[in-house]
Every structure is written in C-alpha cells, then in structure tokens.
Structure 1
Amino acid sequence: MAARRTASGTEDKQLSLIEQARRDQLIRITIDLVAEHGYAGASLTRIAQTAGITKGAVLYHFASKDAVVAAAHERVLGELVSEVKAAVEAVPADQAPAAYVRRMVGHLAERPDHARMIIGAIANGDIPDPSARRKPLTSLLQDARQARGLPPGPDLRTLAVIVGGAIDAILAERLQDGGYDAQAAAEALITMLETALFA
C-alpha cells in the first residue's frame, strides 16, 4: 500500500487499494482535462464532475487542485523519463544523444496528452529548475564525445539548450498538425546534432 500525503506533504496513513485506484483515476482525468482544456480549464469542479464525485471527495485524496495537477505532472514526467532512460541505456554512449531525441519525440508524439501536460507545466512556471531539462542531455553529449575519443569541443550546454528547444518546437508543430511527421523531424534534428557534436 502507498502512503497518502497530507496538505503539508507528510504521510498520514497507508492507502487502501480503493483509495489508490481513486487517486490513479483522478490523476488520469487531470491529465486528460489539462490536455483538452489547459491548466486553467482543469478546475477542481471539472475534475470532480468527470470522476463522478464531489469536490470534497477529490480533496480527500489531494489537498488542492494544484496538488492533483502536480501529481498528474509527476506521473507524466516519470513515464517519459523512464522510457527515455531505457532507450539511452540500450545503446552505446556515442549513440545515446540520438536515442534521447528519438524517444523523447516519439513518446510525446505518441501521447499528445502527455505533451500538453508537460508544455502546460512549463508555460505555467511549475517546473522549479528549468536547467534540469538540459543537464541530462548535456551529460549525454559530453559522454558521446568522450566515447568517440574527441577532445572538448563545442559549448555542450548551448547545444543541449538548442536541441531542447528544437524538440519543443517539433512537439508544438505536431500538436497543431496531427499529420506532421515528428519522427522525420527528429531524424533531421539528429543529423544536425551529430554534425555539431562530432565534427
């Protein structure tokens, strides 16, 4: 059983299977509502109505709307990080940046609700340390150069910022146009990245 968190963030008791199932349901509903209506449109009332329960019942499981949204964002981010990490760990270090880009774009293109949730969190300022988005990629870039025996080269922090911005742009384009080939765009980005990284 998982522990339920109080408004102050402390654990107050173990969750029953029913409570855990309800929390999972509320998180899934919140992801869907943020994807469809944006952060502002995912009100506590709308979350409760969609779940078929009262606002008070939602507040039994989460201290506030912000707490439900934070749990939904944490779930989406956790799934993304897990998938990207597995892709990166499955290839040699010099291929890890390409695997990172492919899986990041692939995961979010396949799950537009997750992409909207993450974009909403960024736009809403809910990501406390924006540099946390680029640090893993910067490390992958450094490791890739070292794996090829290359000396320190381009400004890898800036390269990571550029790649992160390009991934955001690819996903935004895909969200605007469902027919946009995000994977082809990811491959073009990889070609540009590897030219800058390994030249």
Structure 2
Amino acid sequence: MSPRRSTDPEAATFTERARRRQLIECTIDLISTRGYPATSLSAIAERAGVSKAAVLYHFTSKDNLTRAALTQVMAEFSAYVRERVERAPDPLAALLAYVRAMIGYQRDNRRHVRVITEMLLDDGGGTRLKNPGSHDTHDRWQSLAALLADGQRAGVLREFDTRTVALAIGGAIDGVIGHWLVHPDLDLDAAAAELETFTLNAVAPRD
C-alpha cells in the first residue's frame, strides 16, 4: 500500500515540506518561461527530477499545484509592498510607497509577473481562475482603497470614491507593467516617477 499524504500542512514532515516548495518553484519557473498551457504535471515532474506520481502525492491536480504557486507569488508580492507601506511616515507617503513598491517588485521579479499574468488572464481576456480583473486579485484594490481612506481621514487627500480611484491607480500600474513586458526597454524607474505624479494629481486637494 502506498503511503498516505497528510491533509494537514502542519503535520507534513520536513522532507515533504521541502518537496512541496521544490515543486512550487519548478511550477513558477515553467509557467514563467513556457506559459500556463505548456506547464503540465509531466513537465513539472521532469523539471523536479521526480515521477508524476510523486507530484500527485503532494498536489492532487495541476490546478491545485498552480494555485499553490500563484498563492506563493502573491504572498511574497504582498509582503514586499506591505513592508514598504508600513514604513512610510504618513498616509501620503504610504500611498506613494505603494506605487513605488508595486512597480519595483515587478521590475525585480519578472518571472512572478509572468506567473500572475498567465494564471489570471487568458488569450480571450477572461481569467483562468474565474476572478475578474487582475487588479481585484487578492483584494488589491481594497488594500489601496484603505490607504486612500486613511489619507482622507488625515485631511491630506480630497474627497472621492476610494474604490473608483483605487481601481484607476491600479489600472495605471497594470498598464505600465503590461507595456514593459512587451517592451522591456521601458524605463520603469521613470515610469514609477510619472505614476507618482499621476497619483498625486488624482488625489490632491483642489483649490
């Protein structure tokens, strides 16, 4: 009888946890280089140097494994942005730190950007995970809207609908990154500075 995989991640052995991390990293590599459709369980197993059965022991389907890969990518992305926002001295600085961190992380982690793009968007403009709008992923717009609301309460931002403005700023960031993926010669540092100006103009009090 083959060994049974524990359904409790906390009960997994050190070796099992290490193997899961390896399979997730191989999945990230393959999605970012070959695309989602070409990232089969067989390809992941070959990259990891294990059997397909070993992959299925840890993740019962491609969907479960690729979701785990996306979850890891988004967790690392979110932690990076949150750390920089939380270090900001005031609500306005926190908002600008958010914009810079969103661009900076994606600039330095191109393969993660590819995973997010491949996992969330298909060629027809739909979503592989049935989650409409890349900016809505993992409550992105809600987090940005909360920063905007903090600025309003502090009196440094004008009154506006925070969801609408959060979606607009997020869409601008996504648009810049999408262009950079196709045209890597785009200066993302200069683009980040322009997006800061764009954000300030969108939220600053009006005379």
Inter-CA distance 187–150: structure 2 relative to 1 (3 Å threshold): closer
C-alpha distance after superposition, 1:163-190 (max 9, x if no partner):
1111111111222222211121121011
C-alpha distance after superposition, 1:108-148 (max 9, x if no partner):
11101111111222213326475422111011112123223
Answer whether contact 2:70 2:115 (CA < 8 A) is retained.
yes
* Structure 2: distance between partners of 1:196 and 1:90: 23
* Counterpart residue number, 2:16: 19
* Structure 2: distance between partners of 1:13 and 1:82: 22
CA RMSD of aligned residues (A): 2.1
TM-score (structure 2 length as normaliser): 0.85
* Structure 1: distance between partners of 2:74 and 2:10: 25
* Counterpart residue number, 1:44: 41
Answer whether contact 1:94 1:148 (CA < 8 A) is retained.
no
Inter-CA distance 77–127: structure 2 relative to 1 (3 Å threshold): farther
TM-score (structure 1 length as normaliser): 0.88
Inter-CA distance 145–76: structure 2 relative to 1 (3 Å threshold): same
* Counterpart residue number, 1:162: 168
Answer whether contact 2:92 2:151 (CA < 8 A) is retained.
yes
* Structure 1: distance between partners of 2:102 and 2:156: 26
* Structure 1: distance between partners of 2:99 and 2:5: 35
* Counterpart residue number, 1:29: 26
Inter-CA distance 154–46: structure 2 relative to 1 (3 Å threshold): same
* Structure 2: distance between partners of 1:98 and 1:85: 12
Answer whether contact 2:92 2:156 (CA < 8 A) is retained.
no
Match of 2:128 among 106, 125, 140: 125
Percent identity between the two aligned chains? 38
Equivalent runs, 1:97-108 vs 2, <5 Å: 97-108=95-106
Please list every run of 5 or more consecutive structure 2 residues that lacks an aligned counterpart in the other structure.
Answer: 122-126
Inter-CA distance 178–78: structure 2 relative to 1 (3 Å threshold): same
- Post-superposition shift, 1:156? 2.1
Tell me whether 1:134 sits opposite 2:141 in the alignment: yes
Tell me whether 1:144 sits opposite 2:151 in the alignment: yes
Please list every run of 5 or more consecutive structure 1 residues that lacks an aligned counterpart in the other structure.
Answer: none
